[in-house]
Amino acid sequence: MKIIECPNLAPHGEIQTTNNCHLMLNDLSISDPLVLQMEPLRSIASLQKLIISLNDELVSFPNEAEQWFLKVSSSLCHLEFSHFKSLQSLPSTLESLSSLQSLFINSVPMLRELPNLPPSLKRLFILRDCHPELKERYREDGGSDRHKIAHIPLIYIRC
């Protein structure tokens, strides 16, 4: 399911579902993390892949979105943050994503550091337009925060 660049979606309400209806969704692509607070997405607990992209205004994730990540902590395997001109921080709750195996960060030029990442993470990709400080902190040959990602078998940083 893709919900991209729909500025009128969040203010106009929620999709109605019955109490017996549970949304089964494996992949979701969104541009506004606030839609995660709308039904039926608010109640989803089985999501495997989430792509959040194409948002120029978001500076940090609202608390509600951070809490939503905890609901999918045992199912989410792949997470991508892509094309955020203003984003300065990723959700701090990422460390709790016990099933997360792949994290992609692409074109997030204002991001200077990563939150703590889960031990389950197998692949970390940081691509294009990253902040010079981020690249320096996590560089392979002695970055000051490289130890924070040293448990990840595959790390690819190309900015």
What are the residue ranges in the chain where pLDDT is below 70? 1-23
CB-based contact 123:91 (threshold 8 Å): no
Please state the φ and ψ torsions of residue 50, each to the nearest 5 degrees.
-130, 130
Please state the φ and ψ torsions of residue 146, each to the nearest 5 degrees.
-60, -35
Q: What is residue 14's predicted lDDT score, i.e. its pLDDT?
A: 44
Claim: this prediction has a pTM higher than 0.75: yes
User: pLDDT tens-digit profile of 130-152?
Assistant: 999 999 999 999 899 999 999 99
User: pLDDT tens-digit profile of 87-108?
Assistant: 999 999 999 999 999 999 999 9
Say how far apart CA 108 and CA 106 lie, in whole Å: 6
Q: Which two tokens stand for residue 108?
A: 């997030």
Show the 3-state SS of 44-67: CCCCCEEEEECCCCCCCCCHHHHH
Q: What is residue 39's predicted lDDT score, i.e. its pLDDT?
A: 80
